[in-house]
Amino acid sequence: MSAAKTKQNISLNQLPPGKNIPGTAIVVDAFKYRNPDFLYFLSHFHQDHYGGITKNWSDGPIYCSQITARLLRHVLDVPEQYIKSLPQNEPVDLNAECRVTLMDANHCPGAHVLIFDVKTDESVKRYVHCGDMRYEARMKCWPSWFRDGALVDVETVFLDTTYCNPRYKFPKQDVVTAADDTPPLAQAQRRTLFVVATYTIGKEKVLHEISTACGDLCIYTSPDKKEILNLLDLPYANIFVREPRESSVHMITWGKLGEMVPGGWRFLPNWGFAQEYLDWANSLLSDDVPKFTHLAGIVPTGWTWEFQKQHGTGSLFHCTMKPGQEHLCIYEVPYSEHSNFEELREFVEFLKPARVVPTVVGKSGNAGKLAGYFRDLVDSRKSFQLGFNDLFAGEWTFNFS
């Protein structure tokens, strides 16, 4: 994000919805909006959330988790004086009025749900900012939700609404990672090179499952990416190697194998890249090593699931082969690190907040409509008191991860 795109001396009421924690100067994932009086929080290290931070950052401390702090140093070279790492699972007093607790968001490494408790004259109000989150039922057991055995009242949930539509019913993560309908893995007589699309961080669990399924196979990653993986406290970090000849499973940058069809829910493979990659991997092998005959790309995403269900074979993993050249194929795997629609509803039903503020709204989307999906689950008495004025105006981001 260039400095030219940032907005200077913004006041709190000029921020887009979902960025400011009411009654405080805290702003979450809002680094394009500058004001030295803001208290900046970064929920996790994905570009659509940290956009605006550069090595020249000087607008005050950035509060984040310990893993995210390492990434700010290593990837963005943010000056140490501006990085404030916070522990996980422990409440921390930011000042006399505000306490925050970071809880694992089951998104990428270092991603956290931020629970803010804000003192007012009469009471303490609780705000839950999800950043990006993949809800799991075990999150209901977090001790932070309870005081003296009772659920603490939540005023607002700022919800990761990336998949906030009843059409998004992709399976739970463990269903996907435990699936055994992976034909390429079973085709041992072929020399298949597996190429897995990933972001800078995120979806490492998919790689771990592949490694385990293949008998603790090591996985190739670029030296740059290996350095980043070493910062993430992954218990399985030793499966990643920097030598491509040591593995038939390679991690590659998201977007290389293809992209989503604009405006749709289908994946458009980049067969040219797939062939080039296969040729490159084979060029590294010495003459006495059998060459790879096939390439299987693996794209973990929740976006294509509904299209797959309607048009696919019923398999959990949707395979597309290059017409006429079936040594190249791409598997779309419905693995997501965002909550599906049912999980979003379950989370809101559990917390019963007074209101839900969507943090991800499509360019043509409607935040009021998204919030409406939860209207039967919020605490209507508290909602009525709060009112709904001006909740759903402003600028929105669209998260395509």
**Candidate ranges 38-46, 119-127, 206-214, 275-283; the one touching Zn ion (CB under 5 A):** 38-46
Q: List phi, psi (to 5°) of 333.
A: -110, 125
CA distances from 330 to 211, 305, 380 (A): 18, 14, 47
Q: Which is nearer to Zn ion, 109 or 184 (CB)?
A: 109
**Candidate ranges 15-23, 130-138, 237-245, 368-376; the one touching Zn ion (CB under 5 A):** 130-138
Q: Which is nearer to Zn ion, 46 or 225 (CB)?
A: 46
DSSP states along 58-100: -SS-EEEEHHHHHHHHHTT---GGGEEEE-BSS-EESSSSEEE
Please report how close the Cβ of residue 259 comes to Zn ion at its closest, in angstroms: 18
27, β-bridge pairs:
20, 40
Q: Which is nearer to Zn ion, 32 or 125 (CB)?
A: 32
**Pairing of β 98-104 and β 26-28:** unpaired
Please report how close the Cβ of residue 287 comes to Zn ion at its closest, in angstroms: 44
Q: Which is nearer to Zn ion, 110 or 269 (CB)?
A: 110
**Candidate ranges 32-40, 125-133, 308-316, 320-328; the one touching Zn ion (CB under 5 A):** 125-133
Q: Which is nearer to Zn ion, 24 or 162 (CB)?
A: 162
The residues near 162 (Cβ < 8 Å, ≥ 6 apart) are 132, 338, 339, 360, 399, 401
Please report how close the Cβ of residue 47 comes to Zn ion at its closest, in angstroms: 9
**Candidate ranges 44-52, 98-106, 169-177, 304-312; the one touching Zn ion (CB under 5 A):** 44-52
Please report how close the Cβ of residue 160 comes to Zn ion at its closest, in angstroms: 8
SS3 313: coil
Q: Which is nearer to Zn ion, 108 or 295 (CB)?
A: 108
SS3 332: strand
Q: For Zn ion, how many residues bind (rule: CB under 5 A)?
A: 2
Q: Does residue number 132 form part of the binding site for Zn ion (CB under 5 A)?
A: yes
Please report how close the Cβ of residue 232 comes to Zn ion at its closest, in angstroms: 14
Report the chain's C-alpha Rg in angstroms.
22
SS3 198: strand
Q: Which is nearer to Zn ion, 158 or 292 (CB)?
A: 158
Please report how close the Cβ of residue 136 comes to Zn ion at its closest, in angstroms: 16
Q: Which is nearer to Zn ion, 42 or 328 (CB)?
A: 42
Alpha-carbon torsion angle 275, 276, 278, 284, nearest 10:
160
Please report how close the Cβ of residue 27 comes to Zn ion at its closest, in angstroms: 17
The residues near 140 (Cβ < 8 Å, ≥ 6 apart) are 350
Q: Which is nearer to Zn ion, 40 or 292 (CB)?
A: 40
**Candidate ranges 43-51, 85-93, 158-166, 204-212; the one touching Zn ion (CB under 5 A):** 43-51
DSSP states along 227-270: HHHTTTT-TTGGGEES-GGG-SEEEEETTSSEEEPTTSS-EEE-
Please report how close the Cβ of residue 6 comes to Zn ion at its closest, in angstroms: 21
The residues near 178 (Cβ < 8 Å, ≥ 6 apart) are 209
**Candidate ranges 127-135, 188-196, 296-304, 341-349; the one touching Zn ion (CB under 5 A):** 127-135
Q: Per-residue x/- mask for Zn ion, residues 45 to 74, rule CB under 5 A?
A: -x----------------------------
**Candidate ranges 81-89, 132-140, 148-156, 173-181; the one touching Zn ion (CB under 5 A):** 132-140
Residue (of 93, 39, 102, 91) closest to 67 by Cα position: 102
* Total H helices, total E strands in the chain: 11, 21
CA–CA distance, 67 with 277 (Å, rounded to integer): 32
Please report how close the Cβ of residue 213 comes to Zn ion at its closest, in angstroms: 26
CA–CA distance, 324 with 275 (Å, rounded to integer): 13
Binding residues (CB under 5 A) for Zn ion: these are 46, 132
